[in-house]
Amino acid sequence: MKITLIGPTYPFRGGIAHYTTLLTHHLRQHHDVRLISYIKQYPKWLYPGNTAMDPSPDESALRIECDRVLTPMNPLTWWRAFRMIQRDNPDLLLLQWWTPFWSPMLFALTRLVRRYTNVRILFLCHHVIAPDGGMFDWYLARRILWRGHAFIVMSEEDFALLRRALPWARIRGVTHPPYDVFSRTPLPRADARARLGLNPDDPVLLFFGFIRRYKGLRHLIRALPLVRQHLPARLLVVGEFWEDDRPYRSLVRDLGLDDVVHFHSEYVPNEQIAVYFSACDAVVLPYLEATQSGVAQLAIGFEKPMIATSVGGMPETIHDGETGLIVPPGDSTALADAIVRFFREGLAEPFAQNIRMAREYDSWMPLVHLIEELAEPAATHAEQPAPQTASPRVL
């Protein structure tokens, strides 16, 4: 099958770029895939971080052949991308949706493809509505997505949301595949902690990724004094702030946690990810909103148990009492109780073993098979939502 996929890849950074790269790699094992990527992504005034480029010096695991064509603010590049699609005449155009920033470009591309070609359009929705999105985001999502022939979502919540927006749509769901490319060279825990200046015996928690309001870091910080009544736990906060960091640092000072919370406030190059995940006992995801999480997939790749909130697709990824613990969002007391339980009951090893077993089923192949299925026209115009059977982990 001939597929055209559009999305960011190295040297752009972040979870979507990693996702695009790994998806392209796995699709190319079975199909002819052209990856159309970007010359530029977001303008600097819209990008909260320090840089949009991946600082990793060793990009061998992430470099992949692609055509760098698109600039979101330049419609001439949209036309160029369309002409490539028109000349290739692929069986499938695979588009990714995660932010309304891409709406003008996707509006133009899907309009041209629907009008002048017979190419099927499959939307892979990382979020139907971003966790911090509003009504305008909802409007734009409906305006763009209705042009798709089929859709893949990554949580039951997004399945229901998209079904509400597009009742006729052919929608399937699959869990987010693990980012195991970064966990191929884990470090011994003692070595990782020595690099970070941590006591080899202290319980260590990890909060990883871009820091934004909806990720609930404040609630995790407030839970720490309750945890430390029972355990000498420490917290690594690793990632770039996408908002003012002063309220977080003030909260740490006010709670007397200066020696307990260790901020590493920068984007982590790929080669250093293993240090932080190898050093921790558990990854904490205290999100207030979410559909799914690339950080959870990193944790799975490193076989690290998770303590997370019951939002979006978290309970579908993290099985409560088996691979992690699930608590209500925004509840620091419940979060503290779960952390204390995790260490007191010695759940790290059994949870890690369960993650290890589950990884035998979790891979990129269920997603590849789902894409193959949706590349074929439906038997009828409208389909009722139904569970899929491509894998035990398909929604």
The length of the chain is 395
**What's the rounded mean pLDDT across residues 50-67?**
65
- Cα 262 to the chain's mean position, in Å? 24
> How many Å from the N-terminal Cα to the C-terminal Cα in the chain?
25
pLDDT category at 392 given cuts 50, 70, 90 is very low
**What's the rounded mean pLDDT across residues 72-88?**
94
User: Same domain, yes or no, for 230 and 249?
Assistant: yes
Comparing C-alpha atoms, which of 22, 65, 13, 60 is closest to residue 41?
13
* pTM of the model as a whole: 0.69
Is there a domain that residue 382 lies in? no
Helix (H, G, I), strand (E, B) or coil at 222: helix
User: What backbone torsions phi and psi does residue 258 show, to the nearest 5 degrees?
Assistant: -55, -35
Comparing C-alpha atoms, which of 167, 160, 174 is closest to residue 126?
174
User: Same domain, yes or no, for 120 and 211?
Assistant: no
The proportion of the chain whose per-residue pLDDT surpasses 90, expressed as a percent, equals 53
Residue 48 maps to which CATH number? 3.40.50.2000
List the domain range (segments joined by +) for residue 154.
2-177+363-374
User: Same domain, yes or no, for 203 and 331?
Assistant: yes
Is there a domain that residue 61 lies in? yes
Of the candidate ranges 4-18, 42-56, 319-333, the one whose mean pLDDT is the lowest: 42-56
Q: Measure the CA–CA gap between 358 and 353, rounded to whole angstroms.
A: 9
User: Same domain, yes or no, for 337 and 197?
Assistant: yes
* Residue 361 and residue 369 in contact, taking contact as beta carbons nearer than 8 Å: no
Is there a domain that residue 305 lies in? yes
The proportion of the chain whose per-residue pLDDT surpasses 70, expressed as a percent, equals 86
Is there a domain that residue 395 lies in? no
User: Same domain, yes or no, for 137 and 192?
Assistant: no
pLDDT value at 299 more than 70: yes
User: Same domain, yes or no, for 247 and 142?
Assistant: no
| pLDDT tens figures, 336-383 | 999 999 999 999 999 999 988 876 555 788 899 999 999 998 764 444
Q: In whole numbers, what is the pLDDT of the chain averaged over residues?
A: 85
Of the candidate ranges 96-100, 200-204, 357-361, the one whose mean pLDDT is the lowest: 357-361
User: Same domain, yes or no, for 51 and 117?
Assistant: yes
| pLDDT tens figures, 223-265 | 999 999 999 999 999 988 888 889 999 999 999 999 999 999 8
Is there a domain that residue 392 lies in? no
User: Same domain, yes or no, for 148 and 226?
Assistant: no
**What's the rounded mean pLDDT across residues 10-39?**
89
Domain count, the chain: 2
Inter-CA distances, 116 with 87, 94, 167, Å: 11, 17, 26
pLDDT of residue 294: 79
User: Same domain, yes or no, for 310 and 217?
Assistant: yes
* Residue 295 and residue 306 in contact, taking contact as beta carbons nearer than 8 Å: no
Where are any strands of DSSP class E within the chain?
Answer: 2-6, 32-38, 67-70, 92-97, 120-125, 150-153, 171-173, 204-208, 234-238, 261-264, 282-285, 306-309, 324-327
277-280-281 Cα angle (round to 5): 120
Comparing C-alpha atoms, which of 36, 33, 26 is closest to residue 1?
33
Q: Measure the CA–CA gap between 327 and 386, rounded to whole angstroms.
A: 28
Is there a domain that residue 147 lies in? yes
User: Same domain, yes or no, for 240 and 305?
Assistant: yes
Comparing C-alpha atoms, which of 144, 115, 143, 109 is closest to residue 36?
109
Inter-CA distances, 2 with 19, 30, 36, 276, Å: 20, 10, 14, 39
User: Same domain, yes or no, for 171 and 194?
Assistant: no
User: Same domain, yes or no, for 191 and 287?
Assistant: yes
Of the candidate ranges 72-86, 120-134, 371-385, the one whose mean pLDDT is the lowest: 371-385
Is there a domain that residue 389 lies in? no
pLDDT of residue 47: 55
